[in-house]
Amino acid sequence: MNASQVRKQLQLHQRELNDLLRVLKQRRPLIRGSVYNLRRKCGKDVCRCQDGFLHESWVLSIPENGHKRMRVIPEGRRLQWQSMTERYRRFRRARSQLVKLFAEIIKLIDELENDRTVPPPQ
């Protein structure tokens, strides 16, 4: 790739970097974890859940020390917590893309340096 093509690639990466930074700089709160509907049996012999009518509750599953910790979501907060967990996933995805992008940018800069470097005068 010649120097002109490298500079063009760098310019494209700069736009991509701006898009990623826009996601990362948001101020809205994030929650690490997943929101889902938990269905289970309670274990009582006479309960309706023994006939297949399982108990349901919305929970937040939080990874903690290699295990999942679950927290019941308060009534009326499910949508809010779902959006915060989705923002967290978006944030982590953007961070991952940023790491890859920086590696690519450094590689292109190294190409530019190699292309522009001349041998020392004799």
Per-residue pLDDT for the chain (122 aa), expressed as one digit of tens each?
888 999 999 999 999 999 999 999 999 999 999 999 999 998 898 898 888 899 999 999 999 999 999 999 999 999 999 999 999 999 999 999 999 999 999 999 999 999 999 999 98
Residue 98 belongs to some domain of the structure: yes
Residue 121 belongs to some domain of the structure: no
Residue 122 belongs to some domain of the structure: no
Instruction: Give the pLDDT of residue 45.
Output: 87
Task: Count Cβ atoms within 10 A of the Cβ of residue 59 and give its class: 0-12 exposed, 13-18 middle, 19 or more buried.
Answer: buried
Query: Residue 1 is encoded by which pair of tokens?
Result: 């790739």
Pairs from 99-102 (Cβ < 8 Å, separation ≥ 24) = 101/13, 101/16, 101/17, 101/20
Domain that residue 38 falls in: 3-116
Q: Which residue is listed with tokens 């991509």?
A: 16
CA–CA distance, 109 with 117 (Å, rounded to integer): 12
Q: How many domains does the chain have?
A: 1
Residue 38 belongs to some domain of the structure: yes
